[in-house]
Structure 1
C-alpha cells in the first residue's frame, strides 16, 4: 500500500516541481525588490560630517540631522542623544539595544533569500530524479515491439534535467542578493557604530574634564 502510494507520487514527474520553482523565483524577486527599497529609504547621508559634529559635542546639529530620518544610523544617534542625561553607561546600553533592534528590521526576509539559495538546487534535483523515474517507467510500460524506446528515455531525461537547471537559476540570484544585502547591512552597522563611538568619546572626555575641574 505504502509502496504503491509512493510510486504513484514519484510518477507525477518533474512538472509540478518546475511550477514550484517558478513560484519561488517570483517570490524571491519580490523579496529582493522589497529589501532594495527598504535599504534605499533607510539610510542616512552626511555621516562623516555628523560624526565630526558628534565628537565635538554639537547635539543640536545631530538632532536636526536625524530628525524624521529612518534607518539604523539615525536611530542609534537619536536614541544615544535621548539617553545622554542618564550617563555614559546608559548611553552605551541604549546604543547596543538600538543596534540589535534595528538589525532585525534589516535582516527581515534576508533569511528567505539565504534559504532559497541553499535549497533551490536540491528542489531542482528532486524534480530531476522524479523525471528520470517517470522516464524509465514509461520505457518499461512501452510496447517492446515499438521503435524509439531509447529516444523516449532520452527525451524524458533531458526534460527532467530542466528542473535542475531551473533550480540553479533560482538559487544563484538569491545567493548573490543575500550576500549583497548582508554586505550593505554590515556597512550601515559599521557607520552606526562609528557615529555612536563619536558621541561616546565626547561624553567620556566631558566627564573627565568635569572630574579634573
Structure 2
C-alpha cells in the first residue's frame, strides 16, 4: 500500500475526530480566556490615584510610606515601583535594574498561557480545513459509490466538510480577539509601570544630587 492509499484510508475514517479536536481546543481556550480575564481584573487599580499617592509621599521624602502604599496594591504598576523603592538605599542604578527585572517577571505572569491562545487562533482554521479536505475525499468516494448520482450520503459528507471549516473559524475568532485584547492590556499596564518607575528614579536621582550638594557644601 503506497502513501496515497494510506492517506485515503485514513481520510475514510471521517472528520469527526477533527471536530472533537476543535471542540477540545475551544474548551481549553475558553478556560485560558476566563483565567486571564480574572487575573487581569483582580490585579487592576486606580493608577491615577496610585501615582498621585506615590508622588505625594516621595515629595514629602517618606520612602517608607511610599513602600507601604505600593504594597497595598496588587497592580503590576505598584509592583514595579515597589521594586525600585526597595532598592532605594542602593542607588538609582540598582533600583533601575530591580525595576527592569520586576517588569520582566510581571510580563511573564500576565502573558502566561497566551501563547497557546494565539496558536489556537492562528491554526484552528487550518485544523478545520483538514476536516474539510477529509470530508471532500469522503464525498468523492460516496459519489463514486453512487455512480455519479446525488445521494443523501453524498450531501451528508459535503455538509460535514463545511461544518468542519465553520467550527475552525468559530474557534479561531474568539481566540484571536481575546489574544489581541489581552496583549493590548498588558502593553498598557507595562507602559504605565514604566512611567511610575521613572518617577521613582527621578526621586532617587534628585536625592543623590541633593546629597552631593550637601556634602560639597560641608567640605
TM-score (norm 1): 0.90
Contact residue 110 and residue 178 of structure 1 kept, 8 A: yes
Show CA shifts across 1:126-169 (max 9, x none): 10010000111122123x3xx84366434422321111111010
Which of 78, 81, 100 is equivalent to 1:77?
A: 81
- Give CA-to-partner distance per residue, 1:21-41, whole Å, 9 cap, x none: 111111111100000111112
Over 3 Å counting, the alpha-carbon distance change for 1:13 and 1:120 in structure 2 is: same
* CA shift for structure 1 position 62: 1.9
Q: Which runs of 5+ in 1 are unaligned?
A: none
Corresponding residue for residue 154 of structure 2? 153
Residue 48 (structure 1) aligns with? 51
For 1:87, the equivalent position in structure 2 comes to 91
Give the C-alpha shift of residue 54 in structure 1.
5.7
Q: What residue is the counterpart of 1:15 in the other structure?
A: 16
Give the CA deviation at 1:55. 5.0
C-alpha contact 1:14 1:163 (8 A) present in aligned 2: yes
8 Å Cα contact 2:83/2:99 also seen in 1: yes
| Contact in 2 for aligned 1:53/1:61 (Cα 8 Å) | no
Q: Which structure would you say has the larger RCO, counting Cα contacts within 8 Å and 6 or more residues apart?
A: 1
Correspondence for 2:217: none
TM-score (norm 2): 0.88
1:63 corresponds to which residue? 67
Change (3 A) 1:68 1:2: farther
Structure 1 position 80, deviation (Å): 1.0
1:96 paired residue among 63, 88, 100 = 100
1-side partners of 2:204 and 2:75: how far apart? 23
CA contact (8 A) 1:54 1:202 kept: no
Please state how far the C-alpha of 1:173 moved relative to its aligned partner.
0.4
Out of 120, 123, 132, the position equivalent to 1:119 is 123
Q: RMSD of the TM alignment (CA)?
A: 1.9
Runs of 5+ in structure 2 lacking a partner?
Answer: 215-219
Contact 2:143/2:149 (8 A) holds in 1: no
Within 2, Cα distance between the matches of 1:118 and 1:18?
17
Q: Does 1:189 align with 2:193?
A: no
Aligned length: 210
